[in-house]
Each structure stands twice: as structure tokens, then as C-alpha cells.
Amino acid sequence: MTLQHTLTVSDHNRDVSGMKYIYPVVSRRAGGVSIGINLNVNNACNWRCVYCQVPNLARGTPPPIELDLLEKELRSFLTYALHGDFMERYVAEGDRHLKDIAFSGNGEPTSAKEFPEVVTLVDKVLKDFNLLGEIGNTKQLNPIKLRLITNGSLMDKQAVLDSVSHLAKCNGEVWFKLDAGTKEGIARVNDVNLNPESHIQRLKKCAAACPTFIQTCMFGLDGEPPTEADVLAYLALISQVKDVVQGVHLYGLARPSYQAEAKRLSRLPEAWLEGVAQRIRQLGLTVYVSP
């Protein structure tokens, strides 16, 4: 297997591995190498976040998943990452740690009708590689995480919640998107018509099924950061779940958007994000900041 170039946090090209479903990235938030599983190979999603780095993003759902191919690719890449020269050739020295397998990619992963089968498949593969902890008489001291990075919009579907419960049994974790605290803010950032209170109920269901972090992207729009009213609405919303989530991943823009609004977006100063993080901490939540 030959990758195109050294991996960096500013390049999450899903085609870098030459595989259909599996791709490696260096993740700021995971703190090392993340092996991504891209189920939305047609670049289709049910949201359209203005900061999204997916080119040619379209509304929709994934095509049928080739489960045999996905398993073959995952086994092949894990073998290369764990027993080959992948880390030395393509990853900077400080990032040479396999941190997770992540359901992420070019759209909402839970919108794939085969998502429950994919979770079962990945669970089996990771156990075969002894990556999920104690297996038989052996113990993996640092089991990797199996993460679901999701917009959370389908967490009221029982099949999705059942899969999230399965995820919890294999050192799983969910990163649940919540970028704004009002219906207008969500429409502006995620381009969907969504009731914040309904989304909080989905978040509560998710957190009851599996350890869950809120993931929030904040950025400048037309040269201005989110308003104080926007921040207050966001804080009020997440305060409702402070006792059920694990914390908040607050992050800024690391890579350019491929959406029509790209030129209107800008990175916020680290100090601004830290200021918001401190206000979140005052609610009693743990916060990780990736500016």
C-alpha cells in the first residue's frame, strides 16, 4: 500500500489510502492516528454544515455498503498500521499512536442502513486484532476507542440507538454535533431546520446508550465571531445535559471549507475559544479545545 504523502492535521483527504471505505488521518482531537471508516462514499449527507470539508457535498444517504470489501480493507490497513512501516513512512514522530477507529467520512454514518451490521463487523475485527481490551487470557493495556462522529439527527431511531449501545460494549464513544443553541443558529451553521430541544432529547438518548461528548465547531462569519446572544443560547442548551455527557470537544477551523460560504468563514483566535471553554467549564463540564 502506498499513500500519497505524509499525513497532517490540515489534510483529511479520504482518498489518500486508495481504498473505498478506509482512510487514515492525524486527528487533533483524538491526539494521533485515527483510522476512518467512510460509509458515505457518494459525498451525501442529511446536513450541510457551512464549514464542511467534503467536496461536491450533496443531500442524501449512502449507497449500499459492500461489507466484505469494508472488512477486507480494515484488516489490511490494521495489519499495515500495526505491523508494517506505515507510521514511520507517513506520520510525524510525535503522532505515531493509533488512537481510534472512527465512523466519520463524507456524510452522516448512521444514515447507512447497514450501520448496525458495520458496527458488528468492526467489533469482530478489532477483537481479532486484540485492540479492544481483555480478550481470552490476554490483555491490551491501551485499548483503542471505537468512535462514532455523528450529527445525532437519527438518534431517535431504535436501530441506531441499538447500534450505539453495541458501540458502548467495545470501548465505544460518541461525538455528537451541537454547534448552536437556537433554531436560527443551527440553520445558519448546519443548514437544517432543527428544533434545539428535540436535538437535546436525541443527545440524552445517545448519552444513555454510550459515553458521549458534545462536539462544537465555532468560527468567524463575515469577520465576526458568534454573538454574545449566540454563546448564551448555546450555554443554556448544553447546561441541560451537563450531568449526562462526558464533556465537550470545542474546536475551530483547521481545514478549508468546500461549501459556498467558504470565503465568509475564518478561524477564531485561540484566546476567544478558550474564553468560551472557560464558561463551559463553569457549568461543570470538561472541555477539550482544538483551535
Cell triple for 167: 458501540
Neighbour tally for 46: CB within 10 Å = 16
203-253 per-position pLDDT tens digit: 999 999 999 999 999 999 999 999 999 999 999 999 999 999 999 999 999
3-state secondary structure at position 33: strand
Query: Quick one: pLDDT band at residue 88, thresholds 50, 70, 90?
Result: confident
Look at residue 96 in the predicted model and tell me its pLDDT: 81
pLDDT at residue 139, rounded to an integer? 46
How many other CB atoms are there within 10 angstroms of residue 142's CB atom?
A: 9
Residue 222 lies in a domain: yes
Rounded average pLDDT over 172-193: 97
Q: What is the pLDDT of residue 164?
A: 98
Q: Specify if 112 maps to a domain.
A: yes
Cell of 110: 448512521
Flag whether 10 is in a domain.
Answer: no
Task: Please give the span between the terminal C-alpha atoms of the chain, in angstroms, as a whole number.
Answer: 33
For 120, other C-beta atoms within 10 Å of its C-beta total 15
Instruction: Please check whether residue 125 lies inside any domain of the structure.
Output: yes
Identify each DSSP E strand in the chain by its residue range.
Answer: 22-27, 32-38, 44-45, 58-59, 98-104, 145-150, 172-177, 212-217, 220-221, 247-251, 265-266, 287-290
Secondary structure (DSSP) of 89-153? HHS-GGG--EEEEEEESSS-GGGSTTHHHHHHHHHHHHHHTT-SS-BTTB--SSPPEEEEEE--T
Q: pLDDT band at residue 144, thresholds of 50, 70 and 90? A: confident
Residue 63 lies in a domain: yes
- 140 falls within a domain: yes
Residue 264 covered by a domain: yes
Q: How far is CA 63 from CA 54, 111, 161, 162, in A?
A: 17, 10, 21, 22
pLDDT at 262 over 70: yes
More confident residue, 26 or 127: 127
Output the domain CATH number for residue 268: 3.20.20.70
Residue 135: the pLDDT is 45
pTM for this prediction: 0.90
Count: domains in the chain: 1
Mean pLDDT in the chain?
Answer: 90
Q: Which range among 17-21, 113-117, 285-289 shows the weakest confidence by mean pLDDT?
A: 17-21
Parent domain of 184: 22-289
Reported as a pLDDT band with limits 50, 70 and 90, residue 25 is confident
Confidence of residue 141 (pLDDT cuts 50, 70, 90): low
Asked whether residue 166 is domain-assigned, the answer is yes
Among 97, 116, 78, 86, which residue's Cα sits nearest to residue 30?
A: 97
pLDDT of residue 254: 84
